[in-house]
Amino acid sequence: MNKFYIQIVFFLLIIFLCVNNKTHETELDLEKYTIPQLKTDTKPKSKKYAKPKSTKRYLTSEEIYEKNKHLLRNDPKETIQAYIYMNKALNHLEYHATSKDGYKLYDFYYDYNIYFYKKKHQGHTVVKKVEYTVGNPNKVSINEQHQKL
């Protein structure tokens, strides 16, 4: 549409709103427009349809700990193995977070320096990665950057 048609539409809209002063001048008469109250059923429901009140009490964290205390183990060898295993997992996470091997760019938001990468790991697992770059992190407030998004 060109500017002329847009001006005509706005002119007609303004005329319609200004001429129809009834919407601006009248006040809503609350007595006339009250919503009728529905009758509430004060009879108690039969026991067949009544919802029973829950008497179940949830356990506190201390009670849960005491209940499952026998499942905890104090084997030092197992603790060392878990520590080594978690370090290996952390190394794998760091590798996938920092490398660009096999990742293909599939989307980006240039205005915010956000890049989305995707690759297939071992042929069946889809791994997605988001890279967000801040030009000068010393000059940018996290809150300001978050509000910008």
The tens digit of pLDDT for each residue in 57-112 reads 888 999 999 999 888 877 889 889 999 999 999 998 888 788 888 889 989 888 88
Neighbours of 145 (CB within 10 A): 13
pLDDT of residue 91: 92
Select the more confidently predicted residue: 62 or 143: 62
Domain ranges of the chain: 101-149
**pTM (whole model) above 0.85:** no
**Are the C-beta atoms of 126 and 115 separated by less than 8 Å?**
no
| 70 CA to centre of own chain | 38
Residues 6+ apart with CB under 8 A from 126: 118, 119, 120
Point out which residues pair with 74 in neighbouring strands: none
Confidence band of 18 (pLDDT split at 50, 70, 90): low
pLDDT at 37 over 80: no
- Average pLDDT score over the chain: 75
Cα torsion 20, 21, 22, 24 to 10°: value is: 120
